[in-house]
Structure 1
Amino acid sequence: MNFAIAVPIGICYGRVANNLPPPTTAVNIITTNGISSIRLFNPNPESLQPFSGTRIQLAIGVPNEDLPSIAAGTTTTAHNWLQSNIFAHVSPDQIRYLIVGNEVFLKEPYYTSHVIPAIFNIYQALHILNLTDKIKISSAQAASILSNSYPPSHAIFDPNILPDLTRLLRFLHDTSSPLMVNVYTYFSYINNQEYVTLDYALLKSGSEMIDQNLVYENLFDMTIDAFIYAMEREGYGGIRVVVTETGWPTAGGEAANGENALVYNGNVVKRSLNNVGTPKRPGIGVEVFLFDLFDENEKMGNEFEKHFGIFGINGVKAYDLVLY
């Protein structure tokens, strides 16, 4: 298999906060720090327009709430949505991915039936514009779509979503697009401390687990390979995996601090830049989007959800992470 080779380090630019700097300032922070790839969760014109004309490649979300109308419409509907929401603000040349829905399967069941029809309509619209080779389409999924992930070789997808997921996998295979997953070893650590050590979650060398003669030294590799094994089980072993969110909080929970965030994100970055890959796919770098550009003080849920920011709102790094 020949996968794309130089994997960029991306960062998610979440905006669920009331104290963020203006998007023009954020883009300046991004460019000043040499960040070449950004994930936007929705194509808000205010946050999208400042990227226009920069060299930053974008992964842009199609929000869950927009899926029903795009799915129920025609190719023209999808074309109009793309034109008014995205292409009116930024050139197609800057768009790397369209992420149609975020964590819909299992978590947002109302939207599940709309994901694939929306993807098909958007794909046809891009096809008419001769953009399907440049812009790849997928849908970001939570790691919970695996009903079993340990050991990786035994991984299976949740049977409740298999009909829709299989259609997604078929599309990804046919269009050479990646499976997109959100992977947080921090969540696995705090919820399963009986089985997961802090070092294993932080990608620090230490304990090893052997599965199918492959040696696993960290939880990140195990999780990625679990998805690969699960796809193989459904007959789609050739699809690459892109991690659309991963990170470690700096406050608000056990082991949530800047030191651990630096260790985790630093190890993820080094592995991607060096094309380390995983035990099942050695030498094939895993493209990642680190979460998050800034803390988001209006995020719902646990306190630590608000504290993933790599940069302070003043543009100063929260910890000394090297991104390239």
Structure 2
Amino acid sequence: MDNFSNSSTLLQNSGAQSIGVCYGLVADNLPSPSEVVDMYHDNGITSLRLYDPNPGALNSLRHSGINVALGVRNEDIQAIASSPAAADHWISLSVKPYASSVSIKYVTVGNEIIPGPLAHFVLPAMKNLHNSLMAAGLGIVGVTTVVSMPVLGNSYPPSQGAFSPDVVSVMASIVSLLNATGRPLLANVYPYFSYANDPVHISLSYALFTSPAPVVHDGPFLYQNLFDAMVDALHAAMEKVGGAGVLVVVSESGWPSAGAGPATITNAETYNNNLIAHVLSGKGTPRRPRKPLEAFVFAMFNENLKPGPITERNFGLFYPNKKPVYPVKFHK
């Protein structure tokens, strides 16, 4: 029997703002998982996003006190959507063995697969995993998914944010489930890409949180940085499908330190430090003032096996030798 009412604390409406860092593993030269967990502790980083249930990483996270967003691989979603038994199997392998010693806060069903050919599998996979967790007595673990800005057909001004016609039915159903279970929608939000793709209409200061005054006036809402505008466009889109109570958790945001144009160490240091300070300020966004923001910086390390332009391999806060690419302050 489906049970989508949330009997535990509504995670999306409680708690404090927090900053995490994504632990990407698309590299062949990274420190051991236990060294990485020590680095999170040493830097005061309290949350970690893991893209798949990597046993080495999960075992190293035991008794660490670090909150974990644990990913279901895109290629596993169709099977989990099609079979409650497959969902049970995934939970029995990836969550149950660690649940008593690893603080798994979210299970994220896929990464940026809406829109796309697998989009319609996300909701049934989420339901099956939710039911498996409830049956296992692990209902405290929230089930959600990770989207990116292309789910929006319109994002400007933020109040006009709306899901694109090709995904609105899928997203409305997902938002309805998140509303019922009291979980947030996770979203990858990158002002860097918006600025890099349109530097004529978007100022660098607006992208880097350094604008001295509001840039976008959207009715009663004033936007001094692009990050808030992007997050609130997602909030507005969810409101339009009945999800006014669902918050956005930023599952990735960052700035590359090497590559073409604006991909510089100076800009990356400015963006990530300002992002962290903004999240930890507790101000929320103009559309959700004083609602605790939760965000994950992408990423812990430069990952040398990532495909694509050089920027893709230079989003890390640290080099694989554990030296910082630039100084980052993870505290107020």
TM-score, normalising length from structure 1? 0.95
Q: Moved runs in structure 1, 4+ residues, more than 6 A?
A: none
1:303 aligns with one of 298, 310, 316: 310
1:190 is paired with a residue of what secondary structure? helix
- State the partner residue of 1:192: 198
* Distance in 1 (alpha carbons) for counterparts of 2:178 and 2:143: 8
Among residues 94, 104, 109, which one is paired with 2:113 in the alignment? 104
The answer to whether residue 28 in structure 2 is matched with residue 18 in structure 1 is yes
Aligned residue identity for 1:128: A
Instruction: Map 1:140-155 onto structure 2 (within 5 A).
Output: 140-155=146-161
Could you say which residue in structure 2 is the equivalent of 1:268?
275
CA RMSD of aligned residues (A): 1.6
Give deviations 1:1-56, integer Å, cap 9, x for gaps: 98223122110000111111121211121122121100000011122211112111
The match for 2:124 among 117, 122, 131 is 117
Cα distance per residue 1:280-324 (max 9 Å; x no partner): 111113110000000011112221011010012122221111002
Kindly indicate whether residue 35 of structure 2 is the aligned counterpart of residue 35 of structure 1. no
Shift of 1:92: 6.5
Task: Confirm or deny: 8 A CA contact 2:68 2:106 kept in the other structure.
Answer: yes
Q: Show the counterpart of 1:170.
A: 176
Unmatched runs of 5 consecutive residues or more in structure 2: 1-9
C-alpha distance in 1, partners of 2:308/2:153? 23
Q: Following the alignment from structure 1 to structure 2, what is the Cα–Cα distance between the partners of residues 165 and 280?
A: 20
For the pair 1:53 / 2:59, whether they are aligned, the reply is no
Identity of aligned pairs, percent?
Answer: 38
Count of residues in correspondence between the two structures: 320
Q: Give yes or no for contact 1:11–1:293 (8 Å, CA) kept in 2.
A: yes
- The alignment status of 1:316 with 2:323, answered yes or no, reads yes
State the shift of 1:85 in Å: 2.4
* Structure 1: 5+ residue stretches without partners: none
For the 8 Å contact 2:18–2:293, the answer to whether it is kept is: no
1:284 is matched with 291
SS, match of residue 117 in structure 1: helix
8 A contact 1:13–1:40 mirrored in 2: yes
